[in-house]
Structure 1
Amino acid sequence: MNDHLDALLKKMKSAASPLRDMLKQLHAEFKDNHDGTVASYIPELAKANPDWFGISLVSIDGQAVDVGDSNQQFTIQSVSKAFMFGMAIEDHGRDHVLSKIGVQPIGEAFNSITLDEATNRPFNPMINAGAIAAADLIHGKDFPERVARMLKMFSTYCGRQVYVDNTVYHSEKKTGHRNRAIANLMLNFGMISEQLDDTLDLYFQQCSILVTSHDLAMMGATLANGGVNPVTGERAISAEYVKDVLAVMHTCGMYDYAGEWAFRVGIPAKSGVGGGIVSVVPGEVGIGTFSPRLDAKGNSVRGIQFYKALAEKYGLHAFEAKSERTSLLSQL
């Protein structure tokens, strides 16, 4: 990021706005909620401070609001799945990707070892099976090139260079036996290629990328802006594929809470067991939250509370009557 853009962002962050005041109010309201537990099935994730709580918002014109622990880094985990799905579609086109991965919501756990009995495909790209299949589709002449392309894609979304947390990556790789079982099942049915070990490594690395809530908001704003990062002006994904990513986020992005989320909040979103949630108000803003205390379904407890309150306050639901909806851009 050049000095001019950096100065512009700092100026926007310091400006007063009704929305900034509301985000501060909601942060204060929910920060003392100690419900939920930090993920521990990946040993490194258990080391997270359960009191961390960050909220960020970035508009399609590059304005940013950050509250709380918005600069605290954490691993992106399953939030990465939406963006890797978009990359797979760019590499192969919709028809080929849909021959390997479905787009149907599933009322089972995100790490379920199950495939569609009729097609042998994973049900959708937001669960582990579908995400592994999406990682398998990422182009590259060899494994290092596939990793480099993946990191470049995420860096373009975030507007800065991102990196893999190698400690978390090796922790995931060492304990990822269930994901290996899922991958072998898909290999048996021809849903992924023979490069199984490399694909699993790529999947473990994508989940171990370090981000902040501000990064997630920037990623969401890039999707809200038709695939173009609103600060750098770089295109992260072709405009024609943005709706594919948003549609699957909307129907499948919140694990088996997806239906409840669509009913109560009503905007495309994707969560991860690192405590992050990214969401998109198309044509307006991207929102990112981070709090590592998770509910039984694997979603951030404080994050869910925040989004419910924000959606109710501003009428964000996709099917809200226009008269009841407040543009977030108008509140910045």
Structure 2
Amino acid sequence: MKRILDNIVEECRPWTSKGEVASYIPELAKANPDILGIWVTTLGGEEYFAGEYDFKFTIQSISKVVTLMLAILDNGIEYVFSRVGMEPTEASFNSITNLDSHEEKIPLNPMINAGAIAIVSLIHGDTIEEKATRILNFTRKITGNPYISINDSVYESEKKTGDRNRALAYYMKGNGIIEGSVEEILDVYFKACSMEVTSKDIARIGAMLANDGVLLTNERVISREACRIIKTIMVTCGMYDASGKFAVHIGIPAKSGVGGGIMAAVPRRMGIGVVGPALNSKGNSSGGIKILEKLSQELDLSIF
């Protein structure tokens, strides 16, 4: 496996030059676009890695999977999906037109920004800090990494430039989709997106999902049913408006983030964490997509 990963990473390196780092969040624009790495965690506890696997990056939209799990634990599946839908979208992840697409005016799914903001509003806690700490501690638990923290520079950068997210949130507030202070909800959302991780951390999240909600320590984190729903939504919505193409060519549940990470869960086999800050036009890691495509072909990972 180590040899396979080394070869794939080097073969895919040229694809980093075909993307650009996210620039609409100023702090993310500072990332090295040449970075490319992967970590694989099998359900037997074996771990393999290649490239710049230890590069630290902010989790960004991969946190949407984490907050969805926590919202389900706090409220139950039925209530969560009365506030957000399960349908894919052909529009971009931060599009406001998505909110007009659903007859009930709820976000189409939890993996777009509007849906994730609605999900964050459901997480229990009396203060911003309590909610953010619960998300952080939950992330530490499922990754097995007690040192994960929030990158304050990225958080402040996101907060200063998050006007489109504010527009989405206030629109939902006006339609009664979210309750409470919009600015407080967004603050928690920005903090969740700004958690700093490595490819190992997100591979561990993927492994838990691949294992039907059970950690490598055999502790159950979420129900099998919730895990099944989350993995299905990852297949249909996890790669934004490129999810269909990703499903056809790679065929595994995955979630990307504009920090360059992609978290993937191969049911009953492994979790995969890939990092490559250079993004394609859809907001997904250009090199990371290619790594997963070649690995899926090499190991026959597609669930279809």
Same-fold status (TM-score > 0.5) = yes
Aligned residue in 2 for 1:137: 122
SS of alignment partner, residue 58 of structure 1: strand
| Cα separation, 2, equivalents of 1:78 and 1:90 | 19
| Cα separation, 1, equivalents of 2:54 and 2:140 | 16
Picking from 224, 228, 243, the partner of 1:239 is 224
| Cα separation, 1, equivalents of 2:287 and 2:102 | 36
Picking from 5, 20, 29, the partner of 1:46 is 29
Aligned residue in 2 for 1:327: none
8 Å CA contact 2:59–2:195 kept in 1: the answer is yes
Q: Structure 2: any 5+ residue segments left out of the alignment?
A: none
| Percent identity (aligned) | 46
Q: Which one-letter code corresponds to 1:163 in the other structure?
A: S
Q: Structure 1: any 5+ residue segments left out of the alignment?
A: 1-18, 320-332
Following TM superposition, by how much is the alpha carbon of 1:141 offset from its aligned partner in structure 2, in angstroms?
2.7
| Cα separation, 2, equivalents of 1:142 and 1:301 | 38
Tell me if 1:20 matches 2:2: yes
Following TM superposition, by how much is the alpha carbon of 1:117 offset from its aligned partner in structure 2, in angstroms?
4.1
Q: Which one-letter code corresponds to 2:202 in the other structure?
A: L
Picking from 234, 239, 245, the partner of 1:249 is 234
8 Å CA contact 2:234–2:255 kept in 1: the answer is yes
SS of alignment partner, residue 279 of structure 1: strand
Following TM superposition, by how much is the alpha carbon of 1:195 offset from its aligned partner in structure 2, in angstroms?
2.3
Worse-matched range after superposition: 298-307 or 138-147:
138-147
| Cα separation, 1, equivalents of 2:102 and 2:51 | 45
Picking from 188, 196, 208, the partner of 1:222 is 208
Aligned residue in 1 for 2:167: 181
Following TM superposition, by how much is the alpha carbon of 1:81 offset from its aligned partner in structure 2, in angstroms?
0.7
Q: Which one-letter code corresponds to 1:58 in the other structure?
A: T
| Cα separation, 2, equivalents of 1:156 and 1:233 | 13
Q: Which one-letter code corresponds to 1:179 in the other structure?
A: N
Q: TM-score, normalised by structure 2?
A: 0.96
| Cα separation, 1, equivalents of 2:33 and 2:245 | 25
Following TM superposition, by how much is the alpha carbon of 1:314 offset from its aligned partner in structure 2, in angstroms?
2.0
| Cα separation, 2, equivalents of 1:309 and 1:237 | 31
Q: Which one-letter code corresponds to 2:167 in the other structure?
A: A
Give per-residue Cα distances to partners, 1:14-44, cap 9 Å, x unaligned.
Answer: xxxxx21111110111123311101100000
Tell me if 1:32 matches 2:18: no
Q: TM-score, normalised by structure 1?
A: 0.88
Give per-residue Cα distances to partners, 1:82-106, cap 9 Å, x unaligned.
Answer: 1211211111112211111001000
Give per-residue Cα distances to partners, 1:294-329, cap 9 Å, x unaligned.
Answer: 10000101111111111112221112xxxxxxxxxx
**Structure having the higher Rg:** 1
Q: Which one-letter code corresponds to 1:82 in the other structure?
A: V
SS of alignment partner, residue 31 of structure 1: helix
Picking from 287, 294, 304, the partner of 1:309 is 294
8 Å CA contact 1:126–1:253 kept in 2: the answer is yes
RMSD of aligned alpha carbons: 1.1
Aligned residue in 1 for 2:59: 76
SS of alignment partner, residue 88 of structure 2: coil
Q: Which one-letter code corresponds to 2:14 in the other structure?
A: D
Aligned residue in 1 for 2:69: 86
Give per-residue Cα distances to partners, 1:100-139, cap 9 Å, x unaligned.
Answer: 1001000000000131341110010000000000000001
Within a 5 Å distance, the mapping from 1:257-272 to structure 2 comes to: 257-272=242-257
Alignment size in residue pairs: 300
Aligned residue in 2 for 1:16: none
Within a 5 Å distance, the mapping from 1:288-299 to structure 2 comes to: 288-299=273-284
SS of alignment partner, residue 293 of structure 1: coil
Picking from 89, 95, 102, the partner of 2:78 is 95
Tell me if 1:167 matches 2:153: yes
SS of alignment partner, residue 149 of structure 2: coil
Q: Which one-letter code corresponds to 1:62 in the other structure?
A: G
| Cα separation, 2, equivalents of 1:89 and 1:30 | 37
Tell me if 1:67 matches 2:50: yes
| Cα separation, 2, equivalents of 1:168 and 1:287 | 24
8 Å CA contact 2:206–2:264 kept in 1: the answer is yes
| Cα separation, 1, equivalents of 2:64 and 2:228 | 15
Q: Which one-letter code corresponds to 1:102 in the other structure?
A: G
Aligned residue in 2 for 1:282: 267
Q: Which one-letter code corresponds to 1:113 in the other structure?
A: I
8 Å CA contact 1:156–1:236 kept in 2: the answer is no
